[in-house]
Amino acid sequence: MNWIFLFIAFLLGVANTAQSGINSQLRVSLNNPILAAILSFMSGLIVLIGAYALFNQSAIPTLDSFRQITWWKFTGGLLGAFYVVSVIFIVQDLGPANMLCLIVAGQLISALIIDHYGWLGFSVHAINLPRVLGSVLLILGVYLILKY
- Average pLDDT score over the chain: 94
Q: What is the pLDDT of residue 127?
A: 95
Q: What is the pLDDT of residue 40?
A: 96
Give, in order, the Cα–Cα distances in Å from 51 to each of 54, 56, 61, 144. 5, 8, 17, 41
pLDDT in tens, 54-111: 999 888 889 999 999 999 999 999 999 999 999 999 999 999 999 999 999 999 999 9
Closest alpha carbon to 136 in 147, 127, 123, 148: 127
Q: What is the pLDDT of residue 144?
A: 94
pLDDT in tens, 23-58: 999 999 999 999 999 999 999 999 999 999 999 988
Going by pLDDT thresholds of 50, 70 and 90, the confidence category of residue 18 is: very high
pLDDT in tens, 129-146: 999 999 999 999 999 998
CB 131 within 8 A of CB 108: no
The CA dihedral of 49, 51, 53, 54, to the nearest 10 degrees, is 160
Instruction: Please give the radius of gyration of the chain, using alpha carbons only, rounded to the nearest integer.
Output: 18
